[in-house]
Amino acid sequence: MGRRPTISDLAKAAGVSTATVDRVLNGRTKVHEETARRVYEAANAIGYHAAGLIRQRLHDNIPAMRFGFLLHKQQHAFYQDFERRLVNAVRDCGAVRGQAEILWVQTGSPAEYAAQIERLSRSCDAVGAVASDSHQVSHAVADARARGVPVFSLISDFAQGIRQSYIGTNNLKVGRAAAWMLARTARRVGKVGIFVGGHRWHGHELRETGFRSYFREHAPDFEVVETVTNLENRQLTYEATLELLSRHPDISGFYCAGGGMEGALEALREEHRGPDLSVIVNEVTPETMAALEDGILAAVLSTPLDDLCRTLLGMMVRTRTEGLDETLGQVFLPARLYIPESL
C-alpha cells in the first residue's frame, strides 16, 4: 500500500508553498481563485485525502449567479437534450456557483414569450432564450436591459439592437448549405420545396433566404416552389408533405428549415418516397438519425449545442464582472453536418 500524500506532496504537485496550501485548506485568508483551483486539481491528481474539503473552500469563495433559460416545445427530443446540456453547463461552470432556472413556453404566442422573458429577468442575473421575434419580445428585452439584465437570443435571433448577443449558427449559411447539399444529391433536376415554421422566426426567414439565393445563383435549373409554413407542428407537416408530393409528383427534394420534420419523415415512409428524393432537415434527434440510417434523409444540419452552452455561459459570466456590452453582436457557431456515411 502506497504512502498517503502529505501537504508537502500537494504543495509540490500544485507548484505552490505549503503555506498557500494551508490557507486553501483552512480558509483563513483569501487565496486567488486560479491558485485555489490549481491546488484542488493537484489534490485530485495525487489522491490527497482532503480534496473534497478544498473543493468546498473553492466553492465557498466564488460568487453565486442565477442563469435563466427560456425554451419551447418541451416534448421535443431536441429541446429536451438542449435543457440537459444547459443544466450540465451551469453545473460545470467553475467561474461562479451557478443555479439554472428553466421555463418553457406552452402556447407559443408572442405575449407568452415576452411574459416569460420578463419573469426570468426579474429572478436571474442573465437570460438566454429561444423565442420568436415580435414587438412584445423586444419590449421585454429592452426592459430587462434597462435593469441591467442581459438577454441572449439562441438559435434564432430576436430583438436585434437590444439583446446582448445572438449565439447560434449563421442561418443564412445554413440555408445555403442545405441548398448546396440538395442540388448535389438530387437524382434529377426539377422542383424543390422548403418548409418554415413561421414568419416570426428570424432564423427560418434567413434559412429560406439562403436556400433560395443559392439556387438562383448556382443551380437555376431547379425550381423552388412556394414556401410551406408548417408552424413546426408534426401533424401539419405530415399533411403538407403529402400535399406537396401529390401536387408535384416529380419533385426532386425539399428542406425542412425548422421543426415538424418528424411529420415529413412519417409521410415519406408511408409513401415509400425516401430513396428517390433528396430531403434535408435540421437538428439531431432519434427520429432524424433513424431516417438518415434508413436512407430517408440525405443530410441533417445540426446546432452544436455543447459549444453553444459553453459560449453562452462564458458570455453571461462576463456580463456580471464587466457589465453589459455597448456593442451588441453575434456569435456564429459552425453547423455540424451528418450524412448516412457518418453514422
* CATH number where 266 lies: 3.40.50.2300
Judgement on whether residues 216 and 155 belong to the same structural domain of the protein: no
CA atoms within 13 A on the CB side of 214: 19
Tell me whether residue 341 is in a domain: no
Count structural domains, the chain. Answer: 3
Q: How confident is the model at residue 35 (pLDDT cuts 50, 70, 90)?
A: confident
C-alpha cell at 79: 429541446
Give the residue numbers spanning the domain of 127: 65-169+305-333
pTM metric for this prediction: 0.85
Judgement on whether residues 255 and 321 belong to the same structural domain of the protein: no
pLDDT for residue 107: 93
pLDDT in tens, 81-139: 999 999 999 988 877 889 999 999 999 999 999 999 999 999 999 999 999 999 999 99
Judgement on whether residues 156 and 184 belong to the same structural domain of the protein: no
User: Does the pLDDT value for residue 28 go beyond 70?
Assistant: no
Tell me whether residue 190 is in a domain: yes
Return the bridge partners of 282, or none.
301
Tell me whether residue 224 is in a domain: yes
- What percent of the chain has pLDDT above 70? 98
Where helices occur in the chain by DSSP H, the ranges are 7-14, 18-26, 33-46, 51-61, 77-92, 110-123, 135-146, 171-185, 202-218, 234-247, 261-271, 286-293, 305-322
Tell me whether residue 338 is in a domain: no
- Of the two residues 62 and 121, the one the predictor is more confident about is 121
Separation CA 157–CA 206 (nearest Å): 10
For the chain, the average pLDDT equals 93
Judgement on whether residues 93 and 202 belong to the same structural domain of the protein: no
pLDDT in tens, 236-275: 999 999 999 999 999 999 999 999 999 999 999 999 987 8
Q: At what angle are helices 110-123 and 135-146 packed, to 10 degrees?
A: 10
pLDDT in tens, 94-107: 778 899 999 999 99
**Total length of the chain:** 343
Separation CA 66–CA 74 (nearest Å): 21
